[in-house]
Amino acid sequence: MEQIYTIPVNEAFSAMLEEGGEHKCRCPFCEMHSRLEDKEVDRILGAAMMEPDVRIRTNQTGFCPTHFEQMLRGKNRLGLALILESHVDELKGKLKGGILGKSAAGAVKTLTSLEESCYVCERIEYAFARMIETAVLLWERDTEFGEKFRAQTCFCLPHYRRMIAYAQAKLPKKTFARFYEEASEIENAYLDKIKEDVSWFCKKFDYRYEAEPWNGAKDAPERAIAMLSSERHIDKQANKN
């Protein structure tokens, strides 16, 4: 366990308990990922873009559509343009003779590799994998964190899967059994709640239930998607009747 990650992991787990709202899928790993993403986008548009080793890497890998869009929304459009200038120049060199290059097969290989790479994604994944590891090991070694873990509302399914997979591979068998029991109890409880809320959301479109209160289910589709896909785009202005 790398100590450098204990602070952001603890902060994310604490933040999910402080947000309030018993119906929300407040996955602490989604929070960590979101914070990492903001940090890396700001970093690449800041002083890091002028570092030779960083520029070499961004020229090679480029960025995924999601992070290109985030960078475009950022405040340093000149910085982004400078990154694009050298990246496009390198790409042009790889595809000599036009966009198809001298060899169509070579061009396809180069462009496929480019589509599958992103400098920001690589940086996020490196740190995020270690944050998942840190969370599991903190659960094992830190009593206070264990209490914080058990108080969570839910984990989104993709991050739940990664957490369980790491714990199963690294924890002693008996310790993992206890970890899995605690984690699955959190997950099953929220799945039951999501099922109930989505069903009630559907019923509200039946005239027989039109006058009934929403009972917190007005944003049930958003919350279900947040849990299923790890996206935390939940309508914070949803009616909490």
Task: Give pLDDT, residue 240.
Answer: 36
pLDDT at 79 over 70: yes
Q: Which amino acid is at 30?
A: C
Kindly report, residue by residue over 172-207, the tens digit of the pLDDT: 999 999 999 999 999 999 999 999 999 999 999 999
pLDDT at 16 over 80: yes
Are the C-beta atoms of residues 44 and 168 closer than 8 Å to each other? no
Residue 109 has φ and ψ, to the nearest 5°, of: -65, -45
| CA angle at 39 for the pair 15 and 238, rounded to the nearest 5° | 45
Q: Cα–chain-centroid distance for residue 216?
A: 25
Rounded Cα distance, 85 and 6, in Å? 38
The reported pTM is 0.84
Kindly report, residue by residue over 95-150, the tens digit of the pLDDT: 665 555 567 777 787 778 888 899 999 999 999 999 999 999 999 999 999 999 99
Domain ranges of the chain: 3-229
Task: Give pLDDT, residue 17.
Answer: 87
Task: Give pLDDT, residue 50.
Answer: 86
Kindly report, residue by residue over 27-77, the tens digit of the pLDDT: 999 999 999 999 999 999 998 888 989 999 998 899 999 999 999 998 899
pLDDT at 2 over 80: no
Task: Give pLDDT, residue 1.
Answer: 62
Specify the 3-state DSSP secondary structure of 211.
Answer: coil
Tokens of 80: 């982004």
Q: What's the farthest any 2 CA atoms get from each other in the chain?
A: 68
Task: Give pLDDT, residue 93.
Answer: 78
Q: At what angle do helices 119-141 and 157-170 cross, to 10 degrees?
A: 60
Q: How many CB atoms lie within 10 A of CB 112?
A: 10
Are the C-beta atoms of residues 222 and 234 closer than 8 Å to each other? yes
Are the C-beta atoms of residues 26 and 16 closer than 8 Å to each other? yes
Task: Give pLDDT, residue 19.
Answer: 66
Rounded to a whole number of angstroms, the CA Rg of the chain reads 22
pLDDT at 24 over 90: no
